[in-house]
Structure 1
Amino acid sequence: MFVFTLCLFLWSWLSSIHGLEFRYHNSMEMEQYLKDINKTFPDITHLHSIGQSVEGRELWVLILGQHPREHRTGIPEFKYVGNMHGNEVVGRVLLLQLIDYLTSRYLRDPLVTRLLNSSRVHILPSMNPDGFESSARDCMYTVGRYNKNGVDLNRNFPDAFESNTDREREKEVRAVMDWLKTESFVLSANLHGGAVVASYPYDNSNGGGELQGGQSISPDDDVFIHLAKTYSYSHSEMHNSNSCSDSQDFTHGITNGYYWYPLPGGMQDYNYVWAQCLELTLEISCCKFPPEAQLPGLWEANKPALLAYMQQVHLGVKGVVTDSNGKPVQNAVVEVVGRRNLCPFRTDRNGEYYRLLLPGNYTITV
Structure 2
Amino acid sequence: MRVLIFVFAYLFNPYVYSEQFNTLYNLSLGDSIDKALNLLGQPSEVVTQNNAVFRAFIKENHYIVIMENPSGSNFISSIQVTGVSQPTDTFTNKIGLGVSIEKVIQDFGEPSSSKPAIDQITQDPVSNTDIHYFGENISLETQNGLVTSIRIQFDETHSSDSEADRKNFEATMPEEIQLVQDYILNTEYPEVFNEEKYRISVSNFKIIDLDFDNQNDVVVSYKPHYTQSPTIVLFKIDENKKVTRVTEGFAPGPLVQRGDYFLDPHSTDKAIDIQVKEEKKDSLIGAISLKSTKFTMAIDYPNFTHLDMREGFKSYINLTHVNEFVTESNCYQFEFSYIENMFVGYIEGEKKEPFISSIIGEKMYTYIIHNIDKEGFINKSIEVTNLKKDD
Larger relative helix fraction: 1
Larger Rg: 2
Please, what TM-score do these two structures have when normalized by structure 1?
0.29
TM-score by length of 2: 0.27
The structure showing larger relative contact order (alpha-carbon pairs under 8 Å, at least 6 residues apart) is: 1
Q: Hey, which of these two has a bigger chunk of strand by percent?
A: 2
